[in-house]
Amino acid sequence: MYRRIIAVGDIHGNFTRFRSLWDVLDYEPERDLLIFLGDYIDRGSKSLQMLDWMMAHRSERVIVLRGNHDNRLATAWWFKKKPDGTVDFLNNDPAYQTMKTAIHQNKVENQLEALVTAAYTDDSRTGNRDMIYALEKKRTDSLKAEAAAKMRVDESTREEMNGAADAYLDLHQPALAMTQINRLFAANQADVYSYEIRGHAHIQLHQPQKAIADLDTAIQNDPKYAWAYARRAEAYLALNNKTQALQDAEQAIKYRPKLSLSYLIQGKIFDSEGNTASALDVYRRVKQVNPKIKIPEKYQQLLDQGN
C-alpha cells in the first residue's frame, strides 16, 4: 500500500513551473507512487530539461506514461468490467503494470474511470481537446512546411547536383555519385535526369535490378528519354536479357540517332550470338555517327579492310 498516489500531467516543457510544483509535493519514494501522465514537451521552452529530469528519476516508484492527448477518446483507456467485479484498463504493456498494480491494490479503479470519463466529457463540452488537436496539427504542418522549404533546391542547384553526380560516374566513382544524387532524392527534388543518373550508378555498382527500377521511372516520366533507354539496355544486358536490351537500344537510337552507347550494346549482343554480319553493320553505323569511337579490334580491322 502507498501513502499517496500522485498523478502529474500536461507539463508541456514548462520545467520551471514543474520544479515549483515538485518543491511542494513532498514526494517520499519509500511511501508514495508518482505517475506522470505524459505530454512532457512542446509549447514550453525547456522540453529538453524536462526530458532529462524524467530519465534521471524514472524508477518503479516514478512511472512515466504516454500523454492523455495521445488518446483522443476515453474509450482508448479500455475500461472493462472483469468477472470478479473489478475494473481493468489500458493494456498489458509493461510500462503500465506498476500503475495498474497500485490502482488495483488501493481499489480505486472505479474512481479512476470516473475521473477519466469526466475529463473527456468536460473536454467534449468545452471543445478543449479538439482545439488542442487543431493547434497541434497547425504547428506540425508548419514545421513540415518549414523543413520542406529548407530542403528545397532551385533549378540551377539541381542541375549542378545532377551534373556533379554524372561527373563522378565519368570517373567511375559510383559510390560518390550515389551520395551526391541521393541528396536530391532526400529533398524530394529529383527529376528525370536524377533517375537516369542513379540508374547508371546502380549499373556501375553491379545492381542491375535497382538500375532498371530507376530507369523505368525515368522513362515513365519521359517516354522519349534516349539515355534512359540506353542505360536500361545496359542493365538488361547485365542480366543477360538480350532481347529486352536490344529493344531498349533500338528505342534509344530512335529518339537519339547519335547516341553511341546504344550501337555498342547492340554490337556486343550480336557478336556474343555469333552474328558477325549484324555486329559489323552496327559498328559501321556507330563509326559514321562518331568516327573516334573505339570498337572491338576485330571489327575495326574488318572496316579498315573495306568490309
Beta strands in 166-288 (DSSP E): none
Q: Which parts of 26-127 fold into alpha helices (H)? A: 47-57, 94-105, 109-126
Q: Are 203 and 235 in contact (CB under 8 A)?
A: yes
Question: Distance between CA atoms of 245 and 240, rounded to whole angstroms?
Answer: 8
Residue 88: helix, strand or coil by DSSP? Answer: strand
For the chain, how far is it from start to end, CA to CA, in angstroms? 101
Output the nine-digit C-alpha cell for 163.
Answer: 551534373
Sign of CA dihedral 288, 292, 298, 304: positive
Strand arrangement of the beta sheet that strand 32-36 belongs to: 4-8, 32-36, 62-64
Confidence at residue 69, expressed as pLDDT on a 0 to 100 scale: 47
Per-residue pLDDT of the chain (307 residues; tens, 9 = 90+): 678 888 887 777 788 888 888 888 888 888 888 887 766 665 666 766 777 787 777 777 887 765 544 455 666 777 888 888 778 887 777 767 777 787 888 888 888 888 878 777 766 676 666 776 677 678 777 877 776 665 566 777 888 899 999 999 999 999 999 999 998 888 888 899 999 999 999 999 999 999 999 999 999 999 999 999 999 999 999 999 999 999 999 999 999 999 999 999 999 999 999 999 999 999 999 999 999 999 999 999 999 898 7
What is the spatial distance between Cα 54 and Cα 46, in angstroms, rounded to a whole number? Answer: 13
Q: At what angle do helices 128-151 and 109-126 cross, to 10 degrees?
A: 70
Residue that is written with C-alpha cell 508514495 in the block:
32
Q: Locate 193 and state its grid cell.
A: 535526369
pLDDT score for 3: 84
What amino acid occupies position 152?
Answer: R
Enter the C-alpha cell of residue 239: 542480366
The predicted structure's pLDDT at residue 225 = 97
Angle between helix axes 192-204 and 226-238 (nearest 10 degrees) is 20
- CA-to-CA dists, residue 101 to 98, 300, 301, angstroms: 5, 86, 89
Q: Are 282 and 266 in contact (CB under 8 A)?
A: yes
Is 275:255 a contact under the CB 8 Å cutoff? no
Instruction: Report the relative pairing of strands 87-88 and 80-81 from DSSP bridges.
Output: antiparallel
Give the pTM: 0.53
Q: Which residue has the cell 495498474?
A: 100
Alpha-carbon gap, residue 303 to 307, rounded angstroms: 5
What is the predicted pLDDT for the residue at 162?
92
